């Protein structure tokens, strides 16, 4: 797909799936694809849909599988396959607690003893990487009174699946069948980096994880769908995954861009442009905030940014949001910095329209498949009220838009300019060859050529500004 896709929740942008379809057919027709964030039952659980009770059912408050197929008739639809966990309120987990070894789902859920059949030391347990404070286990009691320690990598209500057990494999196969029948074109493997627990390692993006990614990709490809892997990790991990799947994320670019805008230098971006995977979904912001660890060091592996550089990026966000990003961002267990900034991208850029369009233009010109997040598209600022009500830091960048709010945003320069970039990306030139140059410390030039066509983006980060030309003629995004 050469054009731009939209990343959104159905309910938070348009109320439901039919409403989202109407928007994409009309005011947001510039998008060639849509990633609908979890629309399964329930879409509004403890983790906004990433804790499905029934991963095979569309929440009827949003619509039906017919609505998903309708979306897919006109554009590519991406949907999540949550491989690491399911809700503790799922029928499968409830049946296992009730019936134990007699349940057909016995073995589907990962227990402490499956990973440590001979027990574990303190060092073994604390070696595991977890994106939350604390340890990754929750005690559950079965109907027979037996207590089991179940792996809960994320939240106590999100029980991990044993993806090595036939019951776990069968569950994932059922989900893939359902997505394919629903018209989904691309499957995003959510939280796959945590799915394989390997004693003696931190169990995050290990060689065993890569083996599982390859197996999952084979399963999905067999059903005619593409595979996108979601993992926030050292940039070398994206390079390792990229040959195994259709798409990875370029999560390193956003923090590199924020560093460039703060320092007035493009050297770190230039280093990344020389080695980044070309089969990348490019982003600025997502429903999970703005990743930073993706550009930083990991253990003895140097990063594209140093630890001090990362700290400076967090300080810049802190200052731009009057300290709120620091309140909303979570520091994982055993870490000294958050792994993401919980704030809207527009807020972190000081609500500056020209800087936002510069950032979006650079993203749009990178090789890969650009994806715009609905809050960033609409020039959204931090929803501090929602965060105050829920206590979930990522909710600052997950605003519930009313129709009137959407219509007002569509009339702003920041949104009009981004939609113009999405339309520009459809030009055949972006199917050609890409080149780039850094003519000085503060400038980048990105070019695409195809036949007689050339598109160029000339950008400066010290006094942020940019110019786009198509076949030698200036492109005015706000015309």
Which residues are known catalytic residues?
190, 230
Tally of CA atoms within 13 A in the half-sphere of 340 that contains its CB:
23
CB contact at 8 A, 446 and 434: yes
CA-to-CA distance for 288 and 283, rounded, in angstroms? 12
**Bridge partners of 190?**
82
CA-to-CA distance for 474 and 477, rounded, in angstroms? 10
Q: Using the 8-state DSSP alphabet, how is residue 100 labeled? A: G
Strand runs labelled E in 30-146 = 33-36, 40-41, 54-58, 76-82, 85-87, 137-141
Q: Using the 8-state DSSP alphabet, how is residue 251 labeled? A: -
- Backbone phi and psi for residue 438, each to the nearest 5 degrees, phi listed first: -120, 90
Q: Is 456 helix (H, G, I), strand (E, B) or coil?
A: strand
Name the residue among 352, 321, 318, 364 with its Cα closest to residue 338: 318
Which residue bears the tokens 């999100």? Answer: 158
CA-to-CA distance for 89 and 95, rounded, in angstroms? 10
Residue 162's contacts (CB-CB under 8 Å, 6 or more residues apart) are: 107, 108, 109, 110, 111, 114, 168
**Using N-to-C axis directions, what is the helix angle for 307-320 and 253-263, rounded to 10°?**
80
CA-to-CA distance for 209 and 473, rounded, in angstroms? 48
């Amino acid at each position: 797909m050469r054009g731009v896709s939209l990343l959104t929740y159905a309910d938070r942008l348009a109320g439901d799936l039919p409403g989202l379809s109407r928007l994409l057919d009309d005011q947001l027709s510039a998008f060639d694809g849509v990633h609908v964030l979890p629309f399964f039952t329930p879409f509004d659980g403890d983790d906004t849909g990433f804790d499905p009770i029934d991963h095979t059912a569309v929440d009827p408050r949003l619509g039906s599988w017919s609505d998903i197929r309708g979306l897919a008739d006109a554009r590519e639809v991406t949907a999540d396959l949550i491989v690491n966990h399911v809700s503790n309120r799922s029928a499968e987990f409830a049946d296992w607690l009730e019936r134990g070894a007699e349940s057909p789902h016995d073995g589907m859920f990962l227990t402490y003893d499956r990973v440590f059949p001979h027990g574990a030391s303190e060092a073994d347990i604390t070696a595991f990487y977890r994106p939350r404070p604390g340890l990754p286990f929750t005690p559950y009691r079965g109907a027979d009174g037996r207590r089991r320690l179940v792996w809960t990598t994320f939240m106590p209500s999100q029980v991990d699946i044993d993806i090595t057990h036939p019951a776990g494999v069968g569950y994932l196969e059922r989900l893939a069948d359902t997505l394919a029948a629903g018209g989904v074109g691309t499957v995003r493997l959510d939280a796959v980096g945590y799915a394989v627990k390997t004693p003696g390692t931190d169990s995050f993006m290990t060689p065993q994880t890569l083996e599982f990614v390859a197996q999952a990709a084979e399963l999905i490809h067999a059903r005619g769908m593409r595979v996108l892997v979601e993992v926030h990790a050292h940039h070398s991990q994206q390079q390792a995954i990229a040959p195994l799947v259709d798409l990875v994320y370029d999560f390193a670019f956003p923090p590199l861009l924020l560093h460039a805008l703060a320092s007035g230098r493009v050297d770190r971006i230039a280093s990344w442009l020389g080695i980044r995977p070309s089969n990348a979904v490019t982003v600025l912001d997502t429903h999970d905030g703005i990743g930073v660890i993706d550009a930083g060091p990991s253990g003895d592996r140097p990063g594209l940014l140093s630890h001090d550089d990362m700290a400076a990026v967090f300080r810049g966000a802190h200052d731009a949001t009057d300290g709120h990003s620091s309140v909303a961002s979570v520091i994982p267990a055993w870490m000294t910095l958050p792994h993401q900034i919980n704030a809207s991208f527009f807020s972190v850029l000081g609500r500056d329209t020209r800087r936002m369009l510069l950032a979006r233009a650079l993203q749009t010109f990178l090789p890969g498949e650009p994806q715009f997040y609905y809050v960033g598209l609409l020039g959204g600022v931090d929803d501090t009220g929602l965060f105050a009500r829920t206590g979930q830091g990522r909710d600052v960048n997950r605003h519930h838009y009313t129709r009137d709010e959407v219509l007002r945003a569509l009339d702003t320069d920041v949104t009009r300019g981004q939609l113009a970039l999405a339309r520009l990306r459809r030009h055949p030139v972006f199917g050609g060859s890409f080149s780039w140059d850094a003519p000085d410390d503060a400038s980048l030039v990105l070019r695409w050529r195809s036949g007689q066509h050339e598109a160029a983006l000339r950008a400066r980060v010290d006094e942020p500004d940019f110019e786009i030309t198509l076949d030698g003629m200036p492109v005015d995004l706000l015309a």
